[in-house]
Structure 1
Amino acid sequence: MDMIELDGSLGGGQLLRSALTLSLCTGIGFSIHDIRAQRRRPGLMRQHLTAVNAAARVGNACTHGAQLGATALRFEPGPVQAGDYQFATGSAGSATLVLQTVLPALWQAAAPSRLRLEGGTHNPLAPSADFIADAYLPALAKMGVQATLELQQHGFHPAGGGVLEVAVAPCATLQHCSFDSRGALASIEAKVLMSGLPSAIGLRELQVLAQKLGVDPHPRHVHAVRPALGPGNVALVHVRHAEHVDVFSGHGERGVSAEQVGARLAGQVQHYLQGSGCVGEHLSDQLLLPMALAGGGSLTTGRISDHLASNARLIEKFLPVEFDWQPHDGGWRVTVSR
């Protein structure tokens, strides 16, 4: 089996997850050392291990070193198999990151699949379930991917307990797609999720978003999560343009006022709106791998993040594609080609 050697100190958990996805999709194995070496707690944490085990099950893979705290891993993929799968992080670790790890392999399978994912659904350092459902999956749909997500139960850090149900249809060939223009602004909508905390906090966040973005501050946009498995708070802003939808989030945390949460989130949205790029920073990074699997595509975005650059270089190790980015209209245009 072809094997690729990877240096895990060059990135975090994303480098590992992208390698797992690419290995499943290409049949090329990999070994990785110094996993997350630059992080405060190096090695595989629970959500990373869940992603490894999920990829191994979906791809009938052999793994060596798949255990908590491991700083080296060998992954040898087999044939990807469609089916009904259930994966749980056993903590508030992100369920959406596990989903993104196995989703491309499952849409390449010959039959439909269903996933039940348990863990965190709204984590500060991961895409929210709302982002996946309303930004990521619609972008993939333009490329031909048919997948739906249902949020059965919210899960916040540190309690977790969230549940996602995902259905994936086969997609043998992805279409080349250009995310170059977002079109005219259609609407900006905000909502706040509260779990086990006073709704007044959410109302204060919403008021700041109303002042800075002009969204509707009506109390109906504050949603109490039931059952409340633990304290949690996330404010979400959907920015809808004629050709694209992006979702931005801000998370409540101890020692940070509701006004600060709202102001930070408004700043993210304003930065996006003031630029000309179609795709926000986080989504731009996540669309690289699907575009590479399609063999071509392009997007415009406001900045080239370290995540995007490192992800592009990793993808080029597994697939016969090349990424390029050039300054474009105050931002950047990213292209992938064979």
Structure 2
Amino acid sequence: MPQIKSLLEIPGDYLEGGGQILRTALALSVIAQRPVRIFNIRLKRENPGLRQQHFNTLWALKEISDARVEGFYLGSREIKFYPLRIKSCELDIDIKTAGSIGLTLQPLIPVGCFSSLGLTLNIKGGTSGRGAIPIEYYWGVIIPILKRIGIEVKLDLIKRGYYPKGGGEVKVRIEPKINFTPLNLTEQGGLIKIEGISHANGNLKKQRVAERQKDKAEE
């Protein structure tokens, strides 16, 4: 019989004590096929434990890896996660709130690279939110950097979703990749251009929020 690996203990209240510990630990657990126990999850946040977007991230990684999970419920402050394998599949992930699509996607990209046929993800939630990765950051920063490593990610925006309702939707395709290209960022390049995208909910059209944001940025 194969040897069962011992649980790696991870304190979820370390340093900032937010959801990033959970996302990173789960992604590495799936890739390394190493079970983890994460305790004191988001203990330093106003509402500790698994919130909806963290719950959905955990669910997605559970499905992808055929994992057994203990403590799998909203508000849980401790989980035990036992991944088995990495599957190629298509998943529909509905955060049901304005929870960040960008943060939900974050741990799924490295896991998808190690699947035999890649991953296709349909995610609903918030596309822009305070303190979270906006979709534009994926287009302008994350995806180009990943491409230099050899990772191919395609992200299509179907609909924007704003706080507090959410309702945004994206479709993501992550291609499989095992052999990566080293990333060399030791030399600072020169500034070529500065660009941005200003957008706002359609309900704010009369207030010209998108236009005022653009004007302020150009000052």
Aligned counterpart, 2:218:
210
Give, in whole Å, the separation in 2 of the partners of 1:182 and 1:194: 33
1:34-76 CA-partner distances (Å, limit 9, x unpaired): 1111111111111111111111011111100010111111000
Amino acid at match of 2:12: G
Q: Tell me, what secondary structure is at the counterpart of 2:44?
A: coil
SS of 1:38's equivalent?
coil
Q: What are the superposed Cα offsets for residues 94-127 of structure 1, whole Å, 9 maximum, x if unpaired?
A: 1111111111111111113211011111111211
Aligned to 2:34: 28
Match of 2:191 in 1: 185
Structure 1 residue corresponding to 2:12, chosen from 8, 11, 14: 8
Q: 2:95 aligns with which of 89, 103, 106?
A: 89
1:111 partnered with 2:117: yes
The SS at the match of 2:112 is helix
- 1:211-290 alignment to 2 at 5 Å? 211=219
**What RMSD over aligned residues (CA atoms) do the two structures have, in Å?**
1.2
Task: Give the alignment's TM-score, normalised by structure 1.
Answer: 0.61
Q: Name stretches of at least 5 consecutive residues in structure 2 with no aligned partner.
A: none
Partner of 1:179, secondary structure, is coil
Mapped partners of 2:169, 2:180: distance in 1: 28
Structure 2 equivalent of residue 200 of structure 1: 208
TM superposition score normalised by structure 2: 0.92
Among 42, 52, 64, the alignment partner of 1:58 is: 64
How big is the shift at 1:147? 1.0
Task: State the distance in 1 between where 2:197 and 2:120 align.
Answer: 28
1:12 Cα deviation from its structure 2 partner: 0.6
| Greater C-alpha Rg | 1
Correspondence 1:121 to 2:127: yes
Structure 1 portions without partners, runs of 5+: 212-338
Q: Does 1:168 align with 2:174?
A: yes
In 2, the alpha carbon distance for the partners of 1:55 and 1:124 equals 25
- Indicate whether 1:44 and 2:50 are aligned: yes
Structure having the higher strand fraction is 1
Secondary structure of the residue that 2:173 maps to in structure 1? strand
Match of 1:150 among 153, 156, 169: 156
**Cα-to-partner distance string for 1:2-53 (whole Å, 9 max, x where unaligned):** 3210111112100000001000110011001111111111111111111111
Q: Is the 8 A contact 1:8 1:37 kept in 2?
A: yes
Partner of 2:140: 134
Query: 2:121 and 2:135 mapped to 1: Cα distance?
Result: 14
Alpha-carbon distance, 1:199 to partner: 5.0
Bigger share in helix: 1
- Which residue number in structure 2 is paired with residue 17 of structure 1? 23
Give the distance between the partners of 1:78 and 1:165, measured in 2 at CA: 26
1:99 alignment partner in structure 2: 105
What is the letter of the counterpart of residue 97 of structure 1? Answer: L
CA distances 1:268-312 after superposition (whole Å, capped 9, x unpaired)? xxxxxxxxxxxxxxxxxxxxxxxxxxxxxxxxxxxxxxxxxxxxx
Counterpart residue identity of residue 6, structure 1:
I
Provide closer, same or farther for how the CA distance between residues 180 and 41 of structure 1 changes in structure 2, counting only shifts above 3 A.
same
Q: Which has the higher contact order (CA 8 A, sep 6+)?
A: 2
Q: Deviations along 1:173-193, whole A, 9 cap, x unmatched?
A: 122112233412111113210
Moved over 6 A (4+): none
Q: Which amino acid aligns with 2:7?
A: M
